[in-house]
Structure 1
Amino acid sequence: MKKILLAGESWMSYTTHVKGFDSFYTSAYETGEKYLKRAYEDGGYEFIFMPNHLAAEEFPFTIEELSVYDMIILSDIGANTLLLPGDTFTKSIKRPNRCNLIRDYVRNGGALLMVGGYLTFSGVDGKGKWQDTAVQEVLPVQILSTDDRMEHCEGITPVTTVSHEILEGLGPWPNVLGYNRTLRREEGTVIAEVEGNPFLAIGEFGKGRSAAFTTDCAPHWAPPEFCEWKGYNKLFVNIAKWLMKEEKASL
């Protein structure tokens, strides 16, 4: 059974509630992996979820450890989480650059999918910062250096631009509520776009392949009509099969 690693898709919130003279605090931990988990487990894959707070120290530090996985997904995780492990940030101890390892993993035959969010691509306030890493070298789109969020509270519909096996049988795209704006690269092929910008792009780099899906895989950019869309599972399984050079999905 092929193994897929999802890194990211988690967040913690600390809220101040003010009620007249008094105030109090609440905290919450939330994750957004359940839709991808459903798609890939139903598709016959072993799905490993590594939330942001664990990825900082547990995301592989060697190419051998990374190569245990047949596909890596980066979703709503900033580059700093991989660039600043605790030993480096607090003790100035050198550690392997895991962004460089991801690039080498792809060039050696690995599969990489970057999914949109507030901390992937460039992200909110440019804090995603992936454009300044080696991962940019193996992505089929060019990441901006500024805040790249395109918010569409009214809903916006992607369109298919190129016939490709990934999109076979999906039908019309449902609305999304936003995406990360990126630029086309000669090394990539845009097979779906939104507002003339890449929505789903793919590319081959060395022996491996990568894909950029510039909206989210879960709320808020992916509303219920997208997450519960009958084509959701098929889309993400088809992406995985193409990236890992398997036969086309039969869902």
Structure 2
Amino acid sequence: MGKKVLIAGESWMTTSTHVKGVDEFTVHSYVEGVGPLKDALISRGHDVVHMPAHLVPTQFPGSAEALSAYDVIVLSDIGANSIQLAPSVFDRFQAGEDRLVELRNWVHDGGALLMIGGYLSFSGFQARAAFRQTALADVLPVTMLAEDDRVETPGGMVPVVVDGTHPTVSASGTDWPALLGYNRVIAKDGVAVPATINGDPLVAAGTYGKGRSAVFTSDCSPHWAPPEFCEQWLGYTDLFDGLITWLSEE
């Protein structure tokens, strides 16, 4: 049976300046990277809601009731600031709920959380993702680094499946394409690490209270996930369906 999944993040806006002789003009564009992941999950019967990054500050669920509209919350390339700093706090200086505390408590009471890697996941680029000192550090099955945690592997790095029996990776097989980078993390004691990259956790899964949490420390779309991984590899859908299914099991 398909699950109700909220994917927060996986979009960005780009500004470029074009200089033509003595004249210049600025062009803005909006891009979504959620396509491969969303399509993969929908193909397995999951009900997927995408919340683009620019809507997260105003629309991310801020209570157990609102979070419980979903079976699994997925954070992908969206930093802690966007979730914590609602306009009422950042613009109007009003105390309100800490949505990462609410998310932590929801998982503890039986919810499910997946974090996918990227420049604004875990600690991230110049540590700007900044999840390490938030309540979410309690929930994740890994410990985050205090510094920029990105490991760029532009020559390609092939993951290693070390436990092909774990439900998160059992359907995707052991022959994975190379990835172009990931966030370095440290597995907590007692969690499952069925897949690694460069000796570091790539897939890690564990429990928190009555709930479950998991991570995929590389990306679900370019640039760390090249087309060979997110478009051409048949195991891509099996991998993320396996993660969502395991997370939402009761």
* TM-score range for the pair, normalised by the shorter chain length: over 0.9
For 2:246, the equivalent position in structure 1 comes to: 242
Shift of 1:187: 4.3
For 1:221, the equivalent position in structure 2 comes to: 224
Letter in 1 for 2:85: L
Match of 1:233 among 219, 226, 237: 237
Match of 2:168 among 166, 169, 182: 166
1:36 and 1:110 map into 2 onto residues whose CA distance is: 20
SS at match of 2:106: helix
For 1:125, the equivalent position in structure 2 comes to: 126
For structure 2, the 5+ residue unaligned runs are none
1:176 and 1:195 map into 2 onto residues whose CA distance is: 11
Match of 1:198 among 198, 201, 204: 201
1:199 and 1:107 map into 2 onto residues whose CA distance is: 23
Letter in 1 for 2:120: L
Aligned residues: CA RMSD = 1.1
Distance 1:170 1:2, change over 3 A: closer
Farther-moved stretch of structure 1 (84-93 vs 13-22): 13-22
1:86 and 1:158 map into 2 onto residues whose CA distance is: 40
1:167 and 1:82 map into 2 onto residues whose CA distance is: 29
Deviations 1:22-74 (A, max 9, x none): 22111100011111111111111110000111111101111111111100000
2:239 and 2:123 map into 1 onto residues whose CA distance is: 24
Matched residue count: 246
Deviations 1:178-206 (A, max 9, x none): 00011121142211111111100000111
For 2:43, the equivalent position in structure 1 comes to: 42
1:177 and 1:104 map into 2 onto residues whose CA distance is: 34
- Matched ranges for 1:85-104 at <5 A: 85-104=86-105
Farther-moved stretch of structure 1 (189-198 vs 158-167): 158-167
2:208 and 2:123 map into 1 onto residues whose CA distance is: 21
For 1:182, the equivalent position in structure 2 comes to: 185
For structure 1, the 5+ residue unaligned runs are 247-251
1:111 and 1:90 map into 2 onto residues whose CA distance is: 31
Shift of 1:21: 2.1
Shift of 1:227: 0.6
Deviations 1:192-231 (A, max 9, x none): 1111111000001111111010000000000000012101
Percent pairwise identity: 47
SS at match of 1:131: coil
TM-score by length of 1: 0.95
TM-score by length of 2: 0.96
Letter in 2 for 1:72: I
